[in-house]
């Protein structure tokens, strides 16, 4: 059983929440969200907000928080082999109400189909916020060009207006 190893990244001014499923082995080893060297999450976020690529964990935290984006995962725990979302069994979802109560979050985005499905099935009714599905930034989603990925992630910028 994998217990989620990271706290959510947020501050009181966050207006958008981006949710993955659960940290990959590479992210767990790196000690932070989207830690696989070929994962395109941080590169896409930097491109969308016109910022330099954040190399360090502190730079990544700053990039998200300066743009009022909270980062977390749908699952608090699950059984999983490797990093493939298709291998998730016995999912237990996080409770998002405490986080929502401490922030200005009004929009939830999910990275990938599995995160969207899990959030919609287990959490959307409780939060009252429907998720906006975004494509996975995983290296496994190599069929989508970086420009297309950034085009979809530009939705995060609209929450800043």
| Residue 94 to residue 133: CA distance in whole angstroms | 18
Rounded to two decimals, the pTM is: 0.95
74-131 pLDDT, tens digit per residue, is 999 999 988 888 889 999 999 999 999 999 999 999 999 999 999 999 999 999 999 9
Q: Angle 57-66/41-49 helices, nearest 10 degrees?
A: 40
Q: Residue 138, CB half-sphere, CA atoms under 13 Å: how many?
A: 21
Q: Report in angstroms the alpha-carbon separations of 62 from 13, 15, 38, 96, 152.
A: 13, 15, 20, 22, 22
Mean pLDDT, rounded, for 126-143: 92
31-65 pLDDT, tens digit per residue, is 999 999 999 999 999 999 999 999 999 999 999 99
Task: For domain 2-158, give the fold.
Answer: Uracil-DNA Glycosylase, subunit E (3.40.470)
Question: Would the pLDDT of 2 be above 60?
Answer: yes
Q: Which residue has the tokens 């990938």?
A: 112
Other C-beta atoms lying within 10 Å of the C-beta of residue 151: 15
* Domain locations along the chain: 2-158
C-beta separation of 109 from 17 below 8 A? yes
């Amino acid at each position: 059983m994998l217990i989620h190893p990271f706290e959510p990244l947020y501050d009181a001014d966050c207006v958008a929440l981006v949710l993955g499923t659960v940290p990959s082995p590479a992210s767990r080893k790196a000690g932070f969200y989207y830690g696989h060297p070929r994962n395109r999450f941080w590169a896409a976020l930097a491109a969308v907000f016109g910022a330099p690529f954040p190399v360090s964990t502190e730079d990544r935290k700053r990039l998200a928080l300066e743009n009022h984006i909270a980062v977390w995962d749908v699952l608090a725990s699950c059984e999983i082999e490797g990093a493939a979302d298709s291998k998730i069994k016995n999912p237990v979802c996080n409770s998002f109400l405490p986080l929502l109560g401490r922030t200005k979050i009004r929009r939830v985005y999910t990275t990938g189909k599995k995160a969207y499905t899990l959030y919609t099935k287990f959490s959307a009714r409780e939060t009252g916020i429907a998720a906006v599905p975004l494509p996975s930034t995983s290296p496994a989603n190599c069929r989508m060009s970086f420009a297309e990925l950034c085009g979809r992630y530009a939705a995060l910028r609209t929450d800043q207006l």
